[in-house]
Amino acid sequence: MSGNTFGTLFTVTTFGESHGPAIGCVIDGCPPGLLLSEADIQPELDRRKPGTSRHVTQRMESDTVEILSGVYEGRTTGTPIALLIRNEDQRSKDYGNITETFRPGHADYTYFQKYGIRDPRGGGRSSARLTAPVVGAAAIAKKWLFEQYGTVFRGCMSQLGDIVIPFESWDHVAHNPFFAANTTMLPTLEAYMDALRKAGDSCGARIEVVAENVPVGLGEPIYDKLDAEIAYALMGINAVKGIEIGAGFKSVAQKGTEHGDELTPQGFRSNNAGGVLGGISTGQAITASIAIKPTSSIRTPRDSIDKAGQPIKVETFGRHDPCVGIRATPIAEAMLALVLMDHALRHRAQCGDVRVSLPAIPAVIDRAATTD
Amino acid sequence: MSGNTFGTLFTVTTFGESHGPAIGCVIDGCPPGLLLSEADIQPELDRRKPGTSRHVTQRMESDTVEILSGVYEGRTTGTPIALLIRNEDQRSKDYGNITETFRPGHADYTYFQKYGIRDPRGGGRSSARLTAPVVGAAAIAKKWLFEQYGTVFRGCMSQLGDIVIPFESWDHVAHNPFFAANTTMLPTLEAYMDALRKAGDSCGARIEVVAENVPVGLGEPIYDKLDAEIAYALMGINAVKGIEIGAGFKSVAQKGTEHGDELTPQGFRSNNAGGVLGGISTGQAITASIAIKPTSSIRTPRDSIDKAGQPIKVETFGRHDPCVGIRATPIAEAMLALVLMDHALRHRAQCGDVRVSLPAIPAVIDRAATTD
Amino acid sequence: MSGNTFGTLFTVTTFGESHGPAIGCVIDGCPPGLLLSEADIQPELDRRKPGTSRHVTQRMESDTVEILSGVYEGRTTGTPIALLIRNEDQRSKDYGNITETFRPGHADYTYFQKYGIRDPRGGGRSSARLTAPVVGAAAIAKKWLFEQYGTVFRGCMSQLGDIVIPFESWDHVAHNPFFAANTTMLPTLEAYMDALRKAGDSCGARIEVVAENVPVGLGEPIYDKLDAEIAYALMGINAVKGIEIGAGFKSVAQKGTEHGDELTPQGFRSNNAGGVLGGISTGQAITASIAIKPTSSIRTPRDSIDKAGQPIKVETFGRHDPCVGIRATPIAEAMLALVLMDHALRHRAQCGDVRVSLPAIPAVIDRAATTD
Amino acid sequence: MSGNTFGTLFTVTTFGESHGPAIGCVIDGCPPGLLLSEADIQPELDRRKPGTSRHVTQRMESDTVEILSGVYEGRTTGTPIALLIRNEDQRSKDYGNITETFRPGHADYTYFQKYGIRDPRGGGRSSARLTAPVVGAAAIAKKWLFEQYGTVFRGCMSQLGDIVIPFESWDHVAHNPFFAANTTMLPTLEAYMDALRKAGDSCGARIEVVAENVPVGLGEPIYDKLDAEIAYALMGINAVKGIEIGAGFKSVAQKGTEHGDELTPQGFRSNNAGGVLGGISTGQAITASIAIKPTSSIRTPRDSIDKAGQPIKVETFGRHDPCVGIRATPIAEAMLALVLMDHALRHRAQCGDVRVSLPAIPAVIDRAATTD
């Protein structure tokens, strides 16, 4: 499998660069018979798209998606579904000064060393813009998983720079540009971002993502553990530097008597596992958390080198997100959905006729237990 | 690709259960002509094997490896290399009481729900014993990478339960049962483990792993980013709940002016990136850190259910590691080595004739910058 | 790997249906730095496109290709190359009568039974139109292979129905609608096709394809033998029912003393192997031959059933190729090129640093030996 | 996917060389709960093993199989099943003269050029001995397919050298060393082989293989068509040079009115398709035919070169099959079974909940129609 295809059975193959004519993807392995149109996909793309608040890049892209194949009379046919999104607001001239130098912390340098050539316009293929097709593909996965199992995906920002954002309610997430599950902190977040922009600097963020109503039994124990594939999927998002499943790094200081989630006929007592044991879903909520680094394209001058290897000061102008974490929540949900979709199909392949007498233990959805 | 094969070009397919007749693996894609014998592999297996101190399981396994194929007159031939390790110390009677119940925090429950059947002897396939073949396979990868690029792998335990273990020197790692890069803390660690065993409890750990002398340019940008594949590989190790690359979760609170590693002709100024930018190696050291949860098999009674779904108290006797993290260091090194080996071959496939005029920037190996 | 992606390292993922808005593909793994524009691809598409003589379907498609990604300033960047071809001449009304019945010998029936739904317009995804993106992708492979090794691909029709077409010269192939390497038979072929059309019937064909200047050493011995992958690639072309490599079925009646191609310092004495021994290329020409069945969409009424399982007479009107073999030559070349490209990269990955003292034996390109 | 793993979901990864310590394989993706022991596998291995008549190699191997994993209390657990077969009758001294020269028509030359090193003992990995693990793996697939669908696999030799062997009855196949579905020809075949051996020569063969009771709907249309994967699987068998599905090369001279199998509520009228339309199974018998070339290891002297590139006469002594086709029937059945098993799981993954109102049309198993 080459690097640009995600998944084993439900696969997504993307293409495109930030300032090329178009971006998109081919989704293969979708079960037939699913009702599907652009109206199922566009809302997810709209959640991710740029230009929706002053805290993100001001590039104007409608991210209008066109389904090119795989749907007949409103239903999926089982053949590949191609999604096409034309780029509308390329401004290649903004990037003239970037072509000869390498931004500290940016893929500029590694692409050039690997390929001997790079498309410098807007970061080329390394741009976070390339997450749009993935979000589109995941809209299909989300729909199918919801219809099959009632699976629901949610996410929120839980930290912006050094500001921790306490969880109040999922209801808040859709109503602020930060995807914060919180209203009281919003003025603080806005002020923080305004100061950051003024300073010509950038910051990191922490995002949480949760999938509820996941069937028990998804995952392949060695090596395609469900959590291993989630880690792969989330670490593959631009700027991610850390992943936690369930209790994550808190597990280090836990005792076994504390960490192991007790089982009762009424449900699990806690969810330190984050919904995965031995690489297989428990039926509890899948919970994950990611660390997103600060954007490398900043106005503040920094030391670097040019293509001739000479020292140079680099300042980056043009349109950039001062915190890519702000738009990362729908992307993290999308990657999680793709993993679950793929494993739902893989599980059905091998274990489609397994009948277990023991009913699945109810999930205990308890945010206190799962994410704090 | 089915779940039990790791890698794209340098692949490892494992088999076996904790108490079956044997465990092993098939390694495919190894370049021909490499000098190889069991003597290259056994030392790595010995680092991981059980029974070497009172702080780990007392199961006695020599983990003697036999090469069944792929080597002729002392050199690899390019055909699959099969490794076989016979299990020597199975005691299935120890596990009689486990067969009807599910340990909290253990894969018992998920395996049973997924497959409708499970091998309860020693955890069956979910046992950490299954990391032995991987460590064996990685010994080959390590040898090849060292010969090609001088790549060196190192790892250590940096936290045991709530005890942080300051880094003193790599030289200490081989001389204590904890893989601690430290001597002064050893009495504290010993006392902690002795108390834990007496209490019938278990604890977590944090492991760090580093690869030095990694060539620039390894990794496939979307989705098989080098860091995404490292995250997948490390999260696939038994009991791992969190992964960090480079600055990891500290990135969240960093500013762009702090995080982005400046480039100079003399080398990078820091390594917050952990050796990966945009999914591609920078030529700096690859640094990663993992969180390992406490073992679920403990003597302390805990609430659970039996196969009929009835509530029951579960206590686990038999031989278990009270902290699986103690033997995890060579495993983490192994998984990292397999990822780098696979990507070294993948890179050569696509970019084998790329010639770049800019020399690679020297790595700055600076533990202060990389891991603290 | 899901069904719609071809290849391991140089991969082609196609999408589209005969009468949907567009067809296309994503090509991944292309080495960077290759000069590439639409002008390199369009000529291959033009060889395959419909409507170029009275002996093929009269559907009018320009098959104009657009490169959406993966090329910057005229060179490949190593990122995925997406090709888009808009469908221009859909006439869905022609196919109204097909939607409720199944044509004998057509994928109508199997698609419906597999997916429970099918796109009946022009055969949907089962249409030979879907070979266009593959031909486009292979144009890139051909260019790279020619630049690296001087590899050249040629093909011709060697039998039309029961008319054997003797080989005269490759020079003739481009100058007749049948891709015949022959001029003297052309009136016979034209008359045969005219009579066939008048009769409302269809016929089969045999196509030969050859790759010259293939380096020695390509192929993975078990199971991805070069000839196994060629068989897979060619059998995947619409309507193919048989494959031969080298002497093919003639090998059955050969003795070992006759079949085994003798080696001399000046070259091989024959090419019964068709350029592959033990699954690995010998450096001689790769030669293959395929059997193409007669088209199933014919005007002559035939017995079948409808979607309710009731007996019915089926006659197919609309635009169809009376012999899909007529346009199959560039498709067969394309599939062969994709296999060789993929294996060239795979070989470089594993054996990129192998140095052999024995020079490759010269190929003996001798049509008498290879194809008769 | 690396070269030594077969399949997408039901995968077989083999290892071993002809004269190494052992051969074997790892089978991954087997559904759990299947009753399985060595007694299910050994009979298939016994059909293929050497030394059972004077017409095959006199090497004495019991081919005793040991299951190393994946089975608990007599049932598959869903984890990888490893099979081990120790080599018992290696005689490396027989092959001393082979190490410095290349046999015409043998993989000697291509392995050496590819890898720069080869294991010359008994052909190393290129030996037909490596089909034993595959036959073992396929025994599991056959058992599962029979239990699920009643699928039955049969095969026979239909031509030996230039002697066509008319089909009389499947009942005869098990009662002669040639796997001939015929008794009257046996004296002719025996005499032919005796003369061949005396002459120090070898010959080819044609093998037919059939799978009955295959469910409708298996196969992925582009590119993993069922027939494409069968072609790949069969062409991957040692010495195969040609493949036919259904009418095969006879399709070339057929008209559409003759070739297309008419459908009636009572069943198909013929099976020119060989059970596959558009890459998907029709529910009729899958029928395939393969051409096997004459063995390259013969006593008759032939021209070749040595490792220094100098001309030399090569004669091969030691133990060799004068017609590898004689033992090829169970191997061809095995490869077909592996393809169907893999696609049965793949189909269930994507289309596991498809419900079609139209019942599958009965298969018409009619040898006259299918294979002549």
| DSSP of A102-117 | --TTSTHHHHHHHHS-
- Percent over 90 (pLDDT), chain C: 81
Name which residue leads in pLDDT, C207 or A123.
Answer: C207
Nearest Cα of chain D lies from the Cα of A328 at a distance, in angstroms, of 30
CB C80 to CB A14 under 8 A? yes
Q: What is the pLDDT of residue B1?
A: 43
Q: What is the pLDDT of residue D60?
A: 85
Helix (H) or strand (E) holding A72: strand A71-72
Mean pLDDT of B202-220: 97
Q: Does residue D133 surpass a pLDDT of 50?
A: yes
C289 is in an annotated binding site: no
Lowest-confidence segment of B49-53, C278-282, C334-338, C366-370 by average pLDDT: C366-370
The single-letter DSSP state of residue B239 is T
Going by pLDDT thresholds of 50, 70 and 90, the confidence category of residue B368 is: very low
Signed CA dihedral, D225, D226, D231, D234: sign only: positive
CB C68 to CB A15 under 8 A? yes
- Percent over 70 (pLDDT), chain A: 95
3-state DSSP helix/strand/coil % of chain B, to nearest 5: 35, 20, 45
CB < 8 Å to A358, chain B: 112-113, 307-309
Residue from D321, D319, D330, D236 nearest D48 by CA: D330
**DSSP state letters, A136-153:** HHHHHHHHHHHHHH--EE
Going by pLDDT thresholds of 50, 70 and 90, the confidence category of residue D83 is: very high
State whether residue A48 is helix, strand or coil: helix
CB < 8 Å to C279, chain D: 107, 110, 126, 236
Mean pLDDT of D200-217: 97
Going by pLDDT thresholds of 50, 70 and 90, the confidence category of residue B61 is: confident
Going by pLDDT thresholds of 50, 70 and 90, the confidence category of residue D368 is: very low
Q: What is the pLDDT of residue D55?
A: 87
The residues facing A20 across adjacent strands are none
Q: What is the pLDDT of residue D93?
A: 62
Residue from B55, B330, B329, B317 nearest B192 by CA: B55
A233: Cα separation from own chain's centroid:
8
Q: Does residue C367 surpass a pLDDT of 70?
A: no
D225 is in an annotated binding site: no
Contact between residue D50 and residue D58 where contact means Cβ atoms under 8 Å apart: yes
Q: Could you read off the pLDDT of A339-350 as tens digits, one per residue?
A: 999 999 999 999
CB < 8 Å to D115, chain B: 32-33, 77-78
B296 is in an annotated binding site: yes
Q: Does residue B94 surpass a pLDDT of 60?
A: no
pTM here is: 0.96
Nearest Cα of chain D lies from the Cα of A128 at a distance, in angstroms, of 29
Q: Count of H helices and E strands in chain A? A: 8, 18
CA gap D259, C324 in Å, rounded: 14
- Probe site for chain A from D148, D347, D350, D357 (most A CB atoms < 10 A): D350
Helix (H) or strand (E) holding B207: strand B205-212
CB A79 to CB D348 under 8 A? no
Q: Does residue A171 surpass a pLDDT of 50?
A: yes
Going by pLDDT thresholds of 50, 70 and 90, the confidence category of residue D328 is: very high
Mean pLDDT of chain B: 93
Q: What is the pLDDT of residue A370?
A: 44
- Distance from the first to the final alpha carbon of chain C: 38
Q: Is the peptide bond before D109 cis (omega within 30 degrees of 0)?
A: no
Helix axes B329-351, C328-351, angle to 10 degrees: 130
Going by pLDDT thresholds of 50, 70 and 90, the confidence category of residue B60 is: confident
Nearest Cα of chain A lies from the Cα of D349 at a distance, in angstroms, of 4
Q: Which residue of A has its CA nearest to C15?
A: A80
Nearest Cα of chain C lies from the Cα of B137 at a distance, in angstroms, of 16
CA gap D208, D176 in Å, rounded: 16
Mean pLDDT of A43-52: 89
CA gap D76, B117 in Å, rounded: 8
Q: Does residue A172 surpass a pLDDT of 50?
A: yes
Name which residue leads in pLDDT, B316 or A225.
Answer: A225
Going by pLDDT thresholds of 50, 70 and 90, the confidence category of residue A96 is: low
- Across the interface, of C30, C31, C353, the residue whose CB is closest to B353 is C31
CB B223 to CB A236 under 8 A? yes
CB pairs under 8 A between C and D: 406
Helix (H) or strand (E) holding A82: strand A81-86
Q: Which residue of A has its CA nearest to D352?
A: A348
Token pair for B339: 């990822």
Q: Could you read off the pLDDT of C40-98 as tens digits, one per residue?
A: 999 999 998 887 888 888 888 899 999 999 999 999 999 999 999 999 887 766 555 67
Q: Does residue C265 surpass a pLDDT of 80?
A: yes
CB B126 to CB A291 under 8 A? no
Phi, psi angle pair for D172, to nearest 5° = -75, -25
Q: What is the pLDDT of residue A77?
A: 96
Is B145 buried (19+), middle (13-18) or exposed (0-12) by CB count in 10 A? buried
CB B348 to CB C349 under 8 A? yes
CA gap D320, D342 in Å, rounded: 33
CB B117 to CB D28 under 8 A? no
Q: Does residue C1 surpass a pLDDT of 50?
A: no
Would you tell me how many other CB atoms lie within 10 Å of the CB of residue B39?
8
The one-letter amino acid code at C31 reads P
- Across the interface, of B235, B247, B351, the residue whose CB is closest to A225 is B235
Length of chain A: 372
3-state DSSP helix/strand/coil % of chain A, to nearest 5: 35, 20, 45
For chain A, the maximum distance between any two Cα atoms, rounded to a whole number of angstroms, is 69
CB D262 to CB C298 under 8 A? no
CB < 8 Å to A266, chain B: none
Phi, psi angle pair for B326, to nearest 5° = -60, -35
CB B350 to CB C1 under 8 A? no
CB < 8 Å to A8, chain B: 1
Q: What is the pLDDT of residue B253?
A: 97
Q: What is the pLDDT of residue D2?
A: 57
C296 is in an annotated binding site: yes
Q: What is the pLDDT of residue D369?
A: 42
Q: Does residue B298 surpass a pLDDT of 70?
A: yes
**DSSP state letters, D48-95:** H-SSSSTTS--------EEE-SSEETTEE-SSPEEEEEE-----GGGG
Q: Does residue A169 surpass a pLDDT of 80?
A: yes
CB < 8 Å to B68, chain D: 15-16, 20-22, 24
Nearest Cα of chain C lies from the Cα of A92 at a distance, in angstroms, of 12
Q: What is the pLDDT of residue D154?
A: 98
Mean pLDDT of chain C: 93
Would you tell me how many other CB atoms lie within 10 Å of the CB of residue D245?
29
Q: Does residue A366 surpass a pLDDT of 70?
A: no
Q: What is the pLDDT of residue C369?
A: 42
Q: Does residue A94 surpass a pLDDT of 70?
A: no
CB < 8 Å to C349, chain B: 9, 29, 345-346, 348-349, 352
- Distance from the first to the final alpha carbon of chain A: 38
C355 is in an annotated binding site: no
Q: Could you read off the pLDDT of D218-275 as tens digits, one per residue?
A: 999 898 999 999 999 999 999 999 999 999 999 999 999 999 999 999 999 999 999 9
Helix (H) or strand (E) holding B371: helix B367-371
Nearest Cα of chain C lies from the Cα of B29 at a distance, in angstroms, of 6
Mean pLDDT of B185-194: 97
Q: Does residue B210 surpass a pLDDT of 80?
A: yes
The single-letter DSSP state of residue A180 is B
DSSP H helices in chain C: 38-48, 108-115, 131-149, 186-199, 226-235, 256-259, 328-351, 367-371
Q: What is the pLDDT of residue C2?
A: 56
Residue from B121, C339, B275, A80 nearest D71 by CA: B121
Q: What is the pLDDT of residue D370?
A: 44
The residues facing C155 across adjacent strands are C209
CA gap B137, B338 in Å, rounded: 8
D126 is in an annotated binding site: yes
CB B82 to CB D16 under 8 A? yes
Nearest Cα of chain D lies from the Cα of A32 at a distance, in angstroms, of 7
CB < 8 Å to D242, chain C: 242-245, 248-249, 251
Q: Could you read off the pLDDT of A184-219 as tens digits, one per residue?
A: 999 999 999 999 999 999 999 999 999 999 999 999
CB < 8 Å to B158, chain A: none
- Percent over 70 (pLDDT), chain B: 95
Lowest-confidence segment of A81-85, A282-286, D1-5, D308-312 by average pLDDT: D1-5
Q: What is the pLDDT of residue D94?
A: 57
Contact between residue D207 and residue D329 where contact means Cβ atoms under 8 Å apart: yes
Q: What is the pLDDT of residue C56?
A: 83
Q: Does residue B367 surpass a pLDDT of 90?
A: no
- Across the interface, of C33, C68, C72, the residue whose CB is closest to A119 is C72
Q: Give every CB contact of residue B255 below 8 A, 6+ residues apart in sequence.
A: A161, A196, A201, A202, A203, A294
CB < 8 Å to C15, chain A: 26, 68-70, 79-82
